[in-house]
Amino acid sequence: MPSYTKEQRERALEVLEECEGRVTLAITKLGYPSRQTMYQWINGAGAARTRTAGRPFSHYDPQLKEDAVRMVRGGLDPGDVARHLGVSSAAVVYNWARSREKEAAPMRDEPAKASGDEPAWSGFDGSPEDRIRQLELENDILRGVVEVLKAARPRALTNGEKTLVIEHLRRTTDHSLRELTDSLRISKSSYEYQRASIARGDKYARVRRRIVEIFEAANRTRGYRYVTRRLRDGEDPVVVSEKVVRRLMREEGCRVVYLKRAKGYSSYAGEISDAPDNLVERRFHADAPNRLWLSDIAEFGLPCGKCYLSPVLDCFDGALVSWSISASPDAALANSSLEGACAALLPGEHPVCHTDRGCHYRWPGWIALCERNGLVRSMSKKGCSPDNAAMEGFFGRLKNEFFFHRDWRGVTMEEFAAMLDAYLRFYNEGRIKESLGWKSPMQYRRSLGLAA
């Protein structure tokens, strides 16, 4: 806020007198200050510069105000009065008339404080019977709130909740609708609207059932985008926005839980051989199949023991080129998955194969396989899981959708391996993804003519 000198304030008041009290004209001539600041200077100059002591400065003549009020009381429009008398706006005239009405209204006597000998309703308007009726109404409202909504603060209720309370009290008490709407501070029109809405019922009832079915069929592991897509598929599609689906899932308790477990397995065994450069640099995208592969090993802790998975993932569409499952995280596990992936290569295809620095990818057998098939090796930095983030992301989805939140007691290693193999086949053939236009990896490849 700018600071003005005493001379500037005095000059402003002089110009105001020259302009016959017209503040806007004075400010325009001076180029300063703001209207609020000008009124502060005027009121601070003393009662001599105010038309009425104790009230804000006004440049309008008191007689003009009286004429304006009289004309408005005579039935004229405030806008017409303002134009006729040269007042700046109709709002000014309206405020003059309203202020005069408030001044003319009789002041209500202050209620006397009740003493010990006075009745409980002392100080309230109306007869004792009216006050008792009012107290009964308030008591019934509070009881209705508790019984219907289990709440104790009626003023915090929504219009829909107030309507429920009113409906309950109309059935259980003899209070009129006018009494109830006035006490709960809801208009008659709002009450009727909410009442009709409640009578129509939940318009999303069928959608809610479909959402729960889809969520449960996905083993409670897929979010609102997947559920929205499934709603729009099939013979009886339902088109609702993702925002609505997300809200309904929240109301129905369809919440995906991502379980974070401490990493218990690491294949790192030190720098046992020279590591190749990181050729990927976290760019996990490929413009064609068999251009960029990722591999790693995941551990599954079961009551019957530990099971290990070694997949080879194609960054073109996230498809699993090959995988191996074993009870031992040895070289044979990693090598067998790579051999299966290389068997699918066409002549002239030499993908980059990116891994972490685990010992499986630095032993002679793995290196020989890469050289024999023309694969270009690439490795993450030491202890840097984001360098192989796409593979880690796949393991996260796999475990959340297939492994976590399930009871594996009584499942043998062979049974688990068969179930895991079935899920991985589903991952390629049936698990749709938004990034692929809501197609599975194999469906996406067929749509491009890259698979039969």
What are the sequence ranges of the domains in the chain? Answer: 6-104, 128-200, 205-251, 292-447
CA proximity to 211, closest of 265, 268, 252: 252
- Distance CA(316)–CA(328), nearest Å, equals 30
Note the Cα 407 to chain centre separation in Å: 33
Which CATH code of 3.50.50.60, 3.30.420.10, 2.40.50.100, 3.40.50.2000 fits the domain covering 292-447? 3.30.420.10
pLDDT of 270 reads 53
Burial class (CB in 10 A: 0-12, 13-18, 19+), 342: buried
pLDDT tens for the chain, 452 residues long, are 467 888 888 888 888 778 767 777 788 888 878 767 776 777 665 434 434 333 444 556 677 788 788 777 777 777 777 777 666 667 777 777 877 776 766 554 444 444 444 444 455 556 777 777 777 777 777 777 666 655 445 556 788 888 888 888 888 888 888 888 888 889 999 999 888 888 877 778 888 889 998 988 888 888 889 999 989 887 788 888 999 999 999 888 888 876 555 555 555 445 555 778 899 999 999 999 999 999 999 999 999 999 999 999 999 999 999 999 999 988 899 999 999 999 989 999 999 999 988 888 888 889 999 999 999 999 988 878 889 999 999 999 999 889 988 889 999 999 999 999 999 999 999 999 999 999 999 999 999 998 87
Contact call for residues 376 and 353 (beta carbons, < 8 A): yes
Does this model's pTM top 0.85? My answer is no
Question: What residue type is 436 in one-letter code?
Answer: L
Contacts of 25 (CB under 8 A, 6+ apart): 19
- Distance CA(329)–CA(326), nearest Å, equals 7
Beta bridge partners of 354: 294, 378
pLDDT of 112 reads 45
pLDDT of 60 reads 62
* Residue whose entry in the numeric block shows the structure tokens 């003009």: 64
CA proximity to 309, closest of 325, 320, 329: 325
Residue 350, φ and ψ in degrees, nearest 5: -135, 80
CA proximity to 311, closest of 412, 408, 413, 390: 390
Residue 38: its H or E element: helix 35-44
